[in-house]
């Protein structure tokens, strides 16, 4: 284990976070919220000092392997969330009386931000200082594409083994580079990401949304996070004067879908390889699921006895909510907790599916779902005719048997982790019923944001106990980093033995 290199990389990442925290400071200056100055100056100073100490000596050996990649990624995200929580605590935006309780809440909020979950502990959001709201939304943007990918993008020359870091951070069953150089690949990804965010911001501005809200909502959508600056999410814009809320809802809905698509496909479009995009099987499934789910929910809403709604409204709300769940953004434009059970069941299903591999979305990823389904069909065929040999195919190409086993293992681990977390969260007195407990866990594990009942769109996670919040924070990190890095970190600390690594 190349400890010095791990420490050095962590130092660089913390200093990068310090640099990124300058942006909320600029917001602070613009809105003249001078009272908030220490809330950002202290964390920035702490980040720089810690970063400098960790990156004091350049490592002698530069080479790292998969396990170092996992360690760097999991430790980086945990440390970043710890420091990123400080502004909330110092500004007393999150104040639970004693320091530990406030800190755990702020940690939960920051983890939720970086992992682009969007579950919040805050009931009252709109009245918070602007710089805090900006930081809250900005964590989504940082976490969406990944801070380490950002660091790789700005590094002048990457070592070959940097791929281990990228692989541990970028979501999806397999990671392919866009171009030969990993640094260039990371820069292309960030360019597409930032470009789309900017486009969305402009389109929201055109719809009459205030500038600050356009920026923060674009950040939250780009990272597929879901933090909004209003108390009742996107629904709140229906009561903002001068804002064309119907238009904005459509824009956000479409962009949530776009950010749930594999970014490699946008690169193919840019280099005029449109054919490859049309052929992509994962994209077809993704769009098919959205279409089907929207259709089911629209029908369900129109025929539901206790909801009176026009068809255009039903289509819009269904489309928005479907995309909010499948891209794991978790915005709400209506209190969907009041919807009929069929619609809610569809949303729960979408929660598990998640975005495409290589997008900013969470969840299992469409690619994995395709492989799971195809593999199940193969198992059935094989049960009927045991001598049959068949390969799982995606995009017309056979999928490596290792990848199939990897997906099965991932799914198994995902369910085990979910069930254990569900059990721990059930102990909590706030968990009144099974729906609250299970959706709270799986919304965190899938990085969606809201759940149902007591964690529904109008509720928040603030009343959970410290233990539940820590478990849910772990789930969010595990879900964002695709389980293995976080579990590896945990097993390392827990066992204290080196023989497994």
Partner 1 sequence: MNIIIVGQGKYGMTLTQQLANENHDIVVVDVNSNAVTTAVDTYDVMGICGNGATVDILKEAGAKKAKLLIACTGSDELNILCCTFAKELGTENTVARVRNPDYASQSQFLRENIGINMIVNPEYETANEISRIIRFPSVASLDSFARGKVEIARIVIHSDNPIIGMQLSDIRKKFKSNIIICAVQRGSDVHIPDGNFIIERDDSLSITGTRSALSSFMKQTGVYKHKIKNVMIIGGGRIGFYLSELLCNTGRNVKLIEYDEERCHQLTNELSDVTVICGDGTNQDILEEQDIENQDALVALTGIDEENLIVSLYGEIRNVNKVIAKVDRHSYSILNNIGIETLVSPQLVAGTLVTRYVRALENSADNTHIQTLYKLLDGKIEAAEFIVPPNWAHNEETFRDLNFKPNLIIACIIRGNRIIFPGGDDSIISGDRVIVVTAGRYLKELHDIFKLG
Positions touching partner 1 (CB under 8 A) are: 65, 157-164, 176-177, 179-184, 400
Is 95 or 281 the residue whose CB approaches partner 1 more closely? 281
Question: Residue 28 and residue 94: Cα distance in Å, rounded?
Answer: 18
- Name which of 13 and 158 has its Cβ closer to partner 1: 158
Q: Smallest Cα–Cα separation from 215: which of 225, 193, 200, 230?
A: 200
Whether the Cβ atoms of residue 97 and residue 57 lie closer than 8 Å to each other? no
- Nearer to partner 1 by Cβ, of 405 and 495: the residue is 405
Nearest residue to 114 via CA among 154, 152, 74: 74
Nearer to partner 1, 161 or 465 (CB): 161
User: Is-contact 168 69, C-beta < 8 A?
Assistant: yes
Smallest separation (angstroms) from partner 1 to the CB of 184: 8
487/310 Cα distance (integer angstroms): 48
Least separation in angstroms between residue 266's CB and partner 1 is 18
Q: Are 51 and 182 in contact (CB under 8 A)?
A: no
User: Nearer Cβ to partner 1, position 183 or 210?
Assistant: 183
Residue 394 phi, psi (nearest 5): -130, 135
Of residues 162 and 217, the one with the C-beta less far from partner 1: 162
Tokens, residue 74: 């999991």
For the CB of residue 150, give the shortest distance to partner 1 in the complex, in Å: 17
Structure tokens at 201: 């911001």
Q: Decide whether 186 or 448 has the Cβ nearer to partner 1.
A: 186
Pair 290, 283: CB distance under 8 Å: no
Q: In angstroms, give the least distance from the CB of 262 to partner 1.
A: 17
Rounded to the nearest whole angstrom, what is the least distance from the CB of residue 359 to partner 1 in the complex?
A: 21
Beta strand extents in 51-192 (DSSP E only): none
Report CA-CA distances (Å) from 193 to 49, 148, 188, 189, 342: 30, 15, 9, 6, 34
Taking the least distance from each CB to partner 1, the nearer of 151 and 163 is: 163
Could you tell me the smallest distance in angstroms from the CB atom of residue 180 to partner 1?
4
**Helix-then-strand count for the chain, H and E:** 22, 2
Minimum distance from residue 30 beta carbon to partner 1 (Å)? 39
Strand partners, 394: 397
Q: CB within 8 A of 156, min separation 6: which ones? A: 183
**Least gap, CB of 66 to partner 1 (angstroms):** 8
- How far, CA to CA in Å, does 53 sit from each of 11, 56, 77? 7, 5, 18
């Amino acid at each position: 284990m190349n400890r010095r290199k791990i420490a050095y990389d962590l130092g660089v990442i913390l200093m990068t976070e310090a640099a990124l925290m300058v942006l909320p400071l600029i917001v602070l200056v613009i809105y003249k919220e001078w009272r908030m100055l220490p809330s950002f100056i202290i964390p920035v100073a702490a980040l720089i000092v810690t970063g400098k100490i960790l990156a004091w000596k350049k490592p002698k050996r530069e080479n790292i392997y998969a396990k170092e990649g996992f360690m760097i990624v999991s430790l980086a995200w945990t440390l970043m969330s710890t420091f990123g929580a400080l502004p909330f605590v110092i500004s007393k935006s999150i104040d639970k009386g004693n320091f530990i309780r406030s800190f755990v809440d702020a940690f939960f909020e920051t983890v939720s931000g970086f992992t682009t979950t969007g579950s919040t502990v805050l009931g009252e959001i709109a009245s918070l200082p602007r710089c805090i709201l900006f930081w809250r939304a900005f964590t989504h943007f940082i976490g969406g594409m990944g801070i380490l990918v950002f660091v790789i993008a700005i590094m002048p020359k990457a070592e070959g083994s940097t791929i281990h870091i990228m692989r541990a951070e970028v979501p999806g069953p397999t990671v392919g580079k866009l171009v030969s150089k990993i640094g260039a690949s990371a820069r292309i990804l960030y360019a597409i990401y930032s470009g789309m965010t900017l486009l969305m911001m402009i389109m929201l501005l055109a719809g009459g949304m205030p500038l600050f809200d356009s920026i923060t909502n674009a950040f939250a959508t780009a990272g597929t996070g879901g933090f909004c600056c209003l108390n009742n999410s996107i629904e709140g814009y229906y009561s903002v004067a001068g804002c064309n809320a119907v238009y904005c809802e459509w824009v956000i809905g479409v962009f949530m879908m776009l950010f749930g698509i594999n970014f490699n496909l946008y690169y193919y479009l840019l280099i005029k390889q449109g054919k490859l995009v049309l052929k992509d099987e994962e994209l077809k499934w993704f769009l098919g699921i959205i279409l089907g789910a929207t259709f089911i929910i629209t029908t369900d809403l129109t025929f539901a006895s206790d909801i009176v709604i026009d068809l255009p409204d039903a289509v819009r709300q269904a489309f928005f909510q479907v995309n909010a769940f499948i891209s794991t953004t978790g915005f709400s434009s209506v209190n969907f907790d009041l919807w009929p059970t069929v619609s809610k069941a569809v949303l729960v299903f979408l929660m598990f599916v998640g975005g495409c591999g290589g997008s900013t979305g969470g969840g299992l990823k469409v690619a994995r779902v395709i492989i799971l389904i195809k593999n199940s069909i193969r198992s059935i065929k094989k049960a009927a005719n045991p001598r049959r040999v068949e390969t799982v195919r995606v995009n017309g190409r056979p999928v490596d048997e290792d990848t199939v086993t990897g997906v099965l293992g991932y799914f198994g681990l995902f369910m085990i982790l979910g069930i254990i977390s569900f059990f721990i969260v059930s102990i909590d007195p706030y968990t009144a019923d099974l729906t609250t407990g299970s959706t709270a866990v799986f919304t965190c594990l899938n990085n969606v944001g809201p759940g149902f009942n007591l964690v529904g769109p109008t509720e928040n996670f603030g009343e959970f106990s410290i233990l539940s919040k820590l478990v849910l924070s772990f789930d969010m990190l595990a879900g964002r980093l695709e389980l293995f890095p976080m579990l590896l970190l945990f097993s390392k600390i827990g066992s204290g033995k080196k023989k497994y690594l």
